[in-house]
Structure 1
């Protein structure tokens, strides 16, 4: 992938801005571009394999849509191997706070992010790693965060039957007026729950219902992570597609051409 300069990224963000459809719910509305965010995304110190996925995950546009600022306290839920950590930790390092929140590992296992953070103190030295009980998640002091973000995790909680507990924990952790940002694989409207659990794709309606039951207000939607080439009906669900690639070798080119999944990008607010 060609690395974009900061001016080029700024132009890209401006081009992605949309027009509100109503005062209560906007579509694809982004705040003014943020030089610190653009620099964090363009940083050549990011892992090359992670940067190669920017064309699917659109980190600058996504984080701009969520309205982050460098002074925020941001909790990222289940950051996995730290793809977004590599952007958020340096972005928030000087004036904000980045918290990576993960479920407590099973006995005998460790959180992979501990080693990642320890290996690069210049990038992660001020980041915080916290663990919680996956059955009863708690994210620290109530009303302490400006934003809670989760990327491609809600489908796992829906399958495990714990999604309501997570959204309640998000609500508790956020300050009044705080933002919940959600990205996940998007099912076709009307898809039944069993199919969603098996496929890893969720309807936007289900995610909105989970959030509003917890007390959130849907503020905006963005199509920045949409992929019209994804039909969302693959034999091994979303895991058929990159980066998991759970398919026959003969189908490699077919699924590579589709790319990563079609994704919803939703911004909620705590009243």
Structure 2
């Protein structure tokens, strides 16, 4: 059940998860790259009646480093696969500094809403990057600081889409100096995801691939996860796999090296899945 996004976007590298290897966490912004010229913006092709995803990549007051990362992360294709449309409510799990929040906010528009979720412990490395991106700019974004298994700020059946990019493996990771399980219990987390999704809503998951058969605890070691673990969790909580893309696949990555290793950083093999409630 493969989905090949029919979009054109420059870039050959893949984005990396999280923070420095000493204490892994979601990706921090890169230092001050130069933004591309207007004609270098991602060229996302859309069919009549669909949203013009290209429109949300225009150069403006967002952090300049975003523009260099769009082709690296194949962001236009990922947006199209996710299916976010104007007026939708999106719950963004583990949003980090808001790289994708920016895009979700602009697609959802004034009639939509984005819940930008991060665990409280992420403040240590995110600093003021979230407030700088959101405050006074992204007016349809609500910041949520909570563990993954406690989305109490989000009402039942409120979300059209829940996204979780480069993060599900964190359910088996314990930040340095914190108690085990502080980020969230896997079963309770997927209970919450199912609770906040509307009937017919979708969960979109992107993560680093671990070898088939790897135990879930691999998530806390190499920061990868066997996609079968995520599929099983989702299905056990009433979600059905409806689509899959090899957009971010890399057959040259065997899935055994930690994602922060220079040999694979930003080039890991990644899975991209969509589930329906």
Structure 2 CA distance for aligned equivalents of residues 148 and 217 of structure 1: 14
Tell me by how many angstroms 1:220 deviates. 0.6
Task: Name structure 1 gaps, 5 residues minimum.
Answer: 15-30, 242-253
Q: Which residue does 1:156 correspond to in 2?
A: 170
SS of match in other structure, 1:50: helix
**Are the equivalent residues in 1 in contact too, given 2:112–2:140 (CA < 8 A)?**
no
Q: Which residue does 1:248 correspond to in 2?
A: none
Structure 2 CA distance for aligned equivalents of residues 230 and 87 of structure 1: 28
SS of match in other structure, 2:54: helix
169-178 vs 66-75, which deviates more? 66-75
1:203 matched to 2:237? The reply is no
**Are the equivalent residues in 2 in contact too, given 1:105–1:111 (CA < 8 A)?**
no
Q: How many aligned positions are there?
A: 233
Q: Which residue does 1:222 correspond to in 2?
A: 245
Q: How does 1:177-188 map to 2 (within 5 A)?
A: 177-188=200-211
- The structure with higher relative contact order (CA 8 Å, sep 6+) is 2
Query: Taking structure 2 as the reference length, what is the TM-score of the superposition?
Result: 0.73
The structure with the greater share of residues assigned to helix is 1
Query: What stretches of structure 1 move > 6 A for 4+ residues in a row?
Result: 106-111
Change (3 A) 1:150 1:193: closer
Change (3 A) 1:4 1:230: farther
**Are the equivalent residues in 1 in contact too, given 2:165–2:206 (CA < 8 A)?**
yes
Change (3 A) 1:220 1:48: same
1:268 corresponds to which of 246, 252, 275: 275
Task: Name structure 2 gaps, 5 residues minimum.
Answer: 1-10, 12-35, 175-180
Q: Which residue does 2:112 correspond to in 1?
A: 96
**Are the equivalent residues in 2 in contact too, given 1:5–1:42 (CA < 8 A)?**
no
1:239 corresponds to which of 249, 256, 260: 260
Tell me by how many angstroms 1:184 deviates. 0.5
Structure 2 CA distance for aligned equivalents of residues 107 and 10 of structure 1: 33
Tell me by how many angstroms 1:47 deviates. 2.6
SS of match in other structure, 1:149: strand
1:60 matched to 2:76? The reply is yes
Tell me by how many angstroms 1:259 deviates. 3.5
